[in-house]
């Protein structure tokens, strides 16, 4: 009797192992990619040989990311709309910027976490990488409204910042707008959040629960991976409203790029980044899943299947890098004053 029980247990164990391996392969075959478990492999993926990531650049970039003085008013920082304590977003439908201006297109602030993996930046994909993207919000009138010359004068008027740039780039460094924003981008590259989903794809078959594995399988079977794929589970330009009209399509005037393509948002940490869609009109993750089924896939995702997918999506909440709020260097009498017009 004991032999029979042991044999059954062994068979069940083998069956479970085979099922897990099959699901991992299914996920990989559908285009899903894990964040590498090894730091060396991750660095090879995110680093730039022409501007390598160093501790000094990251620390300087972090200060600049949190420094509101790179905005015209002196009260808006990168962290205002991409709050690292709020999933890298701001938790409101449309971004609010200079002089309490709402984004004129009613665009929602996307998360900055894992943005290094995106193939395109901004909802219309107009920037190819983070260093270019970082220049946009700083200058945009409805956002930080700071001219490049103003940002340069603010930063170079602060001796501690000048010394830190020299320490990070060498004594002959030219501290211009491009260098300042590229340094912010270097910090942003490090905002990677590996999750239990990555552990599962990397071979830890117990990293996901039975329900999460079922949700992953449903996510793939329903076709969600046609847009939410790759290491970011998003971040690529895709056609929008393929099968039907998005129910809130008239909130704001955003219609995508010139070809009607829209950057697919990442699903990593998605439980932290409501409201959803480019104009931030849906607050329920389950409702967002069902709306995507209708708009993009032309299918009706029922409540049961939506719940399964949401269960999987929760496993994408990753481990955040520890961020200690920096003490920023003092302004001087030469530092340009805040402007509120």
Q: Which two tokens stand for residue 48?
A: 């730039």
Residue 224 annotated as binding site: yes
Q: How far apart are CA 200 and CA 330, in angstroms?
A: 46
Residue 143: active-site member: yes
Selected catalytic residue, list 38, 143, 152, 272: 143
Residue 81 annotated as binding site: yes
Q: How far apart are CA 126 and CA 302, in angstroms?
A: 35
- Give strand pairing partners of 97: 101
Residue 278 annotated as binding site: no
Residue 78 annotated as binding site: yes
Q: Which two tokens stand for residue 333?
A: 């009498």
- Give strand pairing partners of 262: 238
Q: How far apart are CA 217 and CA 273, in angstroms?
A: 23
The 3 state secondary structure assigned to the chain is CHHHHHHHHHHHHHHHHHHHHHHHHHHHHCCECCCCCCHHHHHHHHCCCCCCCCHHHHHHHHHHHHCHHHCCCCCCCHHHHCECCCCCECCCCCCEEHHHEECCCCCCCCCCCCHHHCCCECCCCCECCHHHHCHHHHHCCCCCCCCHHHHHHHHHCCHHHHHHHHHHHCCCCCCCHHHHHHHHHHHHHCCCCCCHHHHHHCCCCCCCCHHHHHHHHHHHHCCHHHCCCECCCCCCEEECCCCCCCCCCCCCCCCCCCCCEEECCCCCCHHHCCCECCCCCECCHHHHHHHHHHHHHCCCCCHHHHHHHHHHHHCCCCCCCCCCCCCCCCCCCCCCCCCCC
- Give strand pairing partners of 263: 237
| Residues contributing to the annotated binding site for heme c | 78, 81-82, 98, 224, 227-228, 292
Give the residue numbers marked as catalytic: 143
| Residues contributing to the annotated binding site | 78, 81-82, 98, 224, 227-228, 292
């Amino acid at each position: 009797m004991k032999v029979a029980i042991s044999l059954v247990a062994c068979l069940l164990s083998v069956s479970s192992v085979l099922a897990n391996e099959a699901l991992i392969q299914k996920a990989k075959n559908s285009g899903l990619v894990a964040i590498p478990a090894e730091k060396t492999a991750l660095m090879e993926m995110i680093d730039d040989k022409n501007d390598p990531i160093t501790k000094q650049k990251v620390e300087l970039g972090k200060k600049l990311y949190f420094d509101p003085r790179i905005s015209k008013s002196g009260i808006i920082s990168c962290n205002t709309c991409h709050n690292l304590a709020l999933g890298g977003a701001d938790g409101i439908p449309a971004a609010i910027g200079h002089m309490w201006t709402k984004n004129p297109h009613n665009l929602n602030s996307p998360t900055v976490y894992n943005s290094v993996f995106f193939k395109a930046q901004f909802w219309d994909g107009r920037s190819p990488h983070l260093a270019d993207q970082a220049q946009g919000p700083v200058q945009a009138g409805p956002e930080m409204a700071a001219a490049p010359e103003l940002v340069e004068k603010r930063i170079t008027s602060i001796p501690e910042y000048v010394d830190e740039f020299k320490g990070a780039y060498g004594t002959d460094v030219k501290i211009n707008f491009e260098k300042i924003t590229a340094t912010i981008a270097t910090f942003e590259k490090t905002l990677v959040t590996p999750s239990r989903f990555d552990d599962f794809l990397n071979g830890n078959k117990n990293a996901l629960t039975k329900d999460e594995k079922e949700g992953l399988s449903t996510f793939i079977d329903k076709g969600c991976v046609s847009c939410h794929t790759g290491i970011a589970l998003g971040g690529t330009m895709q056609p929008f409203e393929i099968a039907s009209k998005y129910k809130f399509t008239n909130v704001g005037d955003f219609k995508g790029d010139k070809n009607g393509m829209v950057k697919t948002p990442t699903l990593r940490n998605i439980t932290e980044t409501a409201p959803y869609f480019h104009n931030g009109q849906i607050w329920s993750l389950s409702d967002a899943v069902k709306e995507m089924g209708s708009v993009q896939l032309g299918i009706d995702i029922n409540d049961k299947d939506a719940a399964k997918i949401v269960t999987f999506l929760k496993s994408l909440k990753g481990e955040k890098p520890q961020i200690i709020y920096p003490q920023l260097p003092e302004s001087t009498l030469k530092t340009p004053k805040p402007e509120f017009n």
